[in-house]
């Protein structure tokens, strides 16, 4: 069965420091991968996605992610974190079976805290 694992439940980084959030997936074929961010009391906002092609994808707010098939990973990175980046981050994979386009399998999320 498909699954997504985010090993880090909570990460704290200093403002201006670099960030890497880990995501591992289990999937039979080429996965459709997503990173979403959720601020307190809000819905999910799409940061970036990978469907095919270049394995390094750029997203909004200065985020990027790299797809590594050999490691079944899709880690999210940002070179310099801002206090406004404090939020919860979710990695997700699109359902493998056809006709399940509305279904995403989410990881448990990583809560990011930013120290001044």
Partner 1 sequence: KAGVTQTPRYLIKTRGQQVTLSCSPISGHRSVSWYQQTPGQGLQFLFEYFSETQRNKGNFPGRFSGRQFSNSRSEMNVSTLELGDSALYLCASSLARASGANVLTFGAGSRLTVL
* Strand-pair partners of 13: 114
Question: What are the distances in angstroms from CA 94 to CA 11, 15, 16, 58, 97?
Answer: 25, 32, 32, 19, 9
Nearer of residues 15 and 106 to partner 1, judged by Cβ: 106
**Is 93 or 112 the residue whose CB approaches partner 1 more closely?**
93
* Of residues 79-108, those binding partner 1 (CB under 8 A): 90, 92-96, 98-108
Contacts with partner 1, 19-58, as mask; x by CB under 8 A:
------------xx-x-x----xxxxxx--x-x-------
Q: Tell me how far, at minimum, the Cβ of 19 lies from partner 1, in Å.
A: 21
CB 85 within 8 A of CB 61: yes
59 binds partner 1 (CB under 8 A): no
Least Å distance, CB 49 to partner 1, is 6
CB-count burial class (<10 Å; 0-12, 13-18, 19+) for 66: middle
**Where does residue 1 rank: exposed (0-12), middle (13-18), buried (19+ CB within 10 A)?**
exposed
Interface residue list for partner 1 (CB under 8 A):
31-32, 34, 36, 41-46, 49, 51, 90, 92-96, 98-109
């Amino acid at each position: 069965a498909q699954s997504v694992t985010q090993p880090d439940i909570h990460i704290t980084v200093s403002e201006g420091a670099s960030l890497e959030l880990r995501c591992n997936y289990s999937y039979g074929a080429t996965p459709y991968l997503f990173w979403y961010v959720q601020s307190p009391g809000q819905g999910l906002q799409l940061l970036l996605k990978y469907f095919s092609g270049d394995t390094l994808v750029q997203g909004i707010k200065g985020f990027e992610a790299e797809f590594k098939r050999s490691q079944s990973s899709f880690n999210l990175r940002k070179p310099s974190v801002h206090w406004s980046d404090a939020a919860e981050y979710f990695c997700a994979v699109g359902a493998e079976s056809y006709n399940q386009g509305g279904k995403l399998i989410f990881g448990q999320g990583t809560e990011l805290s930013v120290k001044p």
